[in-house]
Copies of this chain bind each other. A is one copy, B any other.
Amino acid sequence: MNVTLHVCTTCRAGEPIEDGAPRPGAQLHAALTEAGAPEGVRIVPVECLSACSQGASVALSAPGKWTYVYGRLRKEDSADILAGAAAYAATDDGLVPWRERPVIFRKQSLARIPPLELPE
């Protein structure tokens, strides 16, 4: 249980939102939690991943692994996101072979960051 799937819940995904209506980010978070996290993955809501022009967005991170940020996601993508999170959780370094990544992960990566290294 050391992989975190952060989900931006404040994201408007570039859409006008009526007062009180759920935001696309919150809808995505709800769909992911309803579907249920795969083994080894925690779904954690976060206010703003600063990817507002490319929202809704999520980030996958874990100690010792590359971090990945994905954008332009909709609640309909929940199953693919969770499949991608499970594949990520199964790796040692976060690098899932290209062909095993969901298409949305291949095409909608916003950034990846190397694992944190302690100074020598």
Binding site for B on A (CB under 8 A): 1-2, 4, 6, 42, 44, 46, 48-51, 54, 57, 59, 61-63, 67-69, 71, 109-114, 116-119
Cβ contact within 8 Å between A68 and B46: no
> Which 6 pairs show the lowest CB-CB distances between chains A and B?
A50-B112, A69-B111, A51-B111, A50-B109, A59-B113, A1-B119
Cβ contact within 8 Å between B111 and A63: no
What residues on B are CB-neighbors of A46 within 8 Å? 114
How far is the CB of A8 from the nearest CB of chain B, in Å?
Answer: 9
- In the bound complex, CA of A26 to CA of B57 (Å): 28
- In the bound complex, CA of A69 to CA of B61 (Å): 14
Output the nearest chain B residue to A1 by Cβ-Cβ distance: B119
Cβ contact within 8 Å between A113 and B113: yes
Output the nearest chain B residue to A69 by Cβ-Cβ distance: B111
Output the nearest chain B residue to A52 by Cβ-Cβ distance: B109
How far is the CB of A100 from the nearest CB of chain B, in Å?
Answer: 16
Contacts A67-B67, A69-B69: A50 and B117 contacting too (C-beta < 8 A)? no
What residues on B are CB-neighbors of A67 within 8 Å? 67, 113
Among candidates B6, B68, B71, B119, residue contacting A42 with C-beta atoms closer than 8 Å: B119
